[in-house]
Amino acid sequence: MGDAAAPRSAGRARVWRLARAYPLGALGAVVLGAMVVAAVFAPWLAPYDPLGTNYSMVVRPPSAAHPLGTDQFGRDVLSRIIFGARTALFVGLAASFVSATLGALAGVTTAYVGGKADLIAQRVIDILLSFPLVILAIAVVAVLGAGTLQVIAAIIVPMLPRATRVVRASALAIRQMPYIEAAHSTGVGALRVIGRHVLPNVAASYMVMLTAFLAEVIVLEASLSFLGLGVVEPTPAWGVMLRDFAGQYAEAAPWLPLAPGVAISLAVFAFNLLGDAVRDALDPRLRG
């Protein structure tokens, strides 16, 4: 019993030390934890059906029955905000994980192989990086069409070259390390060197990049949805809600655009704060 409690106690102590060392990162983790809870338990936390319409309750101000009011279809705004966390997390996690992972693999491979393959890959990346994120994502959406999966694919395309460039820089430095030369001298194959020596040493860059991408992806998804090119109605999504409310009800019902705007801002701030804390914790040059 005591042996089992010791690791748990040590884990809690470590979490508490990290929270005290990085209070803003801890705050970001708490906000993201609340967002995850809202997304997972949305059917139980939401007071109403996010898709249920009630035309006798159109554009009502906040009240005890509807704490954030109702929209132009009589739908409860709070319920749609809660379910919108699912959309934001699904798109954010899927697009960030795929783009960061594929970019890490591509960056490590091109850095290790070098030569013409690396030269050609970098020129392609330079071309993609020359376009702003939103413009390139809009171009992809124009080809694939609107929808949740299409938005994820449209976000992956502009994020992938950024991930490749970041990880490649780390992999180039690792490739010159003595232990890589020692591995080559013993006859170890390229795949084993990459898997056992290069990839583990770029893990810190990967984690920092992943947390940073989450904030960018949420903003990009909201921007595409705001422009009518992302998630489509009636799917609860913060960008869609902001688009519908900002133009028509910014003056007549200012509480409507305020709710999704605050939700997007909190999510982005939380991911940025957590990303900064992860970077500081993983980089030995910043720990002091």
Number of domains in the chain: 1
Q: Tell me, yes or no, whether 7 lies in a domain.
A: no
Q: What is the CATH number of the domain that holds 131?
A: 1.10.3720.10
Q: Tell me, yes or no, whether 287 lies in a domain.
A: no
Q: Tell me, yes or no, whether 145 lies in a domain.
A: yes
pLDDT digits (tens, 9 = 90+) for 113-171: 878 888 888 888 888 888 888 888 888 888 888 788 889 999 999 999 999 998 888 88
- Spatial separation of the C-alpha atoms in residues 265 and 242, rounded to whole Å: 12
Phi first, then psi, for residue 76 (nearest 5°) are -70, 125
- Spatial separation of the C-alpha atoms in residues 288 and 282, rounded to whole Å: 12
Q: How many beta carbons lie within 10 A of that of residue 192, not counting itself?
A: 10
Reading the block at residue 85, the tokens are 């966390």
Q: Tell me, yes or no, whether 220 lies in a domain.
A: yes
At residue 70, the 3 state secondary structure works out as strand
* Residue 212 near residue 277, CB atoms below 8 Å: no
Residue linked to tokens 């709710």: 259
Predicted local distance difference test score (pLDDT) of residue 83: 94
Q: Tell me, yes or no, whether 10 lies in a domain.
A: no
pLDDT digits (tens, 9 = 90+) for 123-138: 888 888 888 888 888 8
The domain in which residue 234 lies consists of 15-51+62-282
pLDDT digits (tens, 9 = 90+) for 253-268: 888 889 999 999 999 9
* Residue 259 near residue 76, CB atoms below 8 Å: no
Phi first, then psi, for residue 97 (nearest 5°) are -65, -45
At residue 138, the 3 state secondary structure works out as helix
pLDDT digits (tens, 9 = 90+) for 183-237: 767 777 777 777 777 888 888 788 888 888 888 898 898 888 888 888 888 889 8
Predicted local distance difference test score (pLDDT) of residue 9: 66
Q: Tell me, yes or no, whether 2 lies in a domain.
A: no
Q: Tell me, yes or no, whether 275 lies in a domain.
A: yes
Q: Tell me, yes or no, whether 89 lies in a domain.
A: yes
Mean pLDDT over the full length of the chain = 84
Confidence band (pLDDT; 50, 70, 90) for 1?
very low
- Spatial separation of the C-alpha atoms in residues 219 and 166, rounded to whole Å: 20
